[in-house]
Amino acid sequence: MQKDETLDAKGLMCPMPIVKLSKKIKEMQIGKVLELISDDVGSKEDVPAWCKRTGNQLLEQKEEGGAFYYYIKKVQ
């Protein structure tokens, strides 16, 4: 997956991965892709819900080595 930025939120528990995601995506240009890495199990529901609520596009979601990877395209 092509990414423009990476946000490592490992070790952070809810709601901090979403707080950091919100802040980071605001700094990015429309059309750019952010890779979010989290080990918070709650992120599996929180990140897709956040994308739906904010209008940003979740391109891919996968689990690998005990971490969750999300690829989010900034739409607005």
Residues with a catalytic annotation lie at 14
26-30, long-range: CB within 8 Å, 24+ apart, which pairs?
A: 28/4, 28/74, 29/74, 30/74, 30/75, 30/76
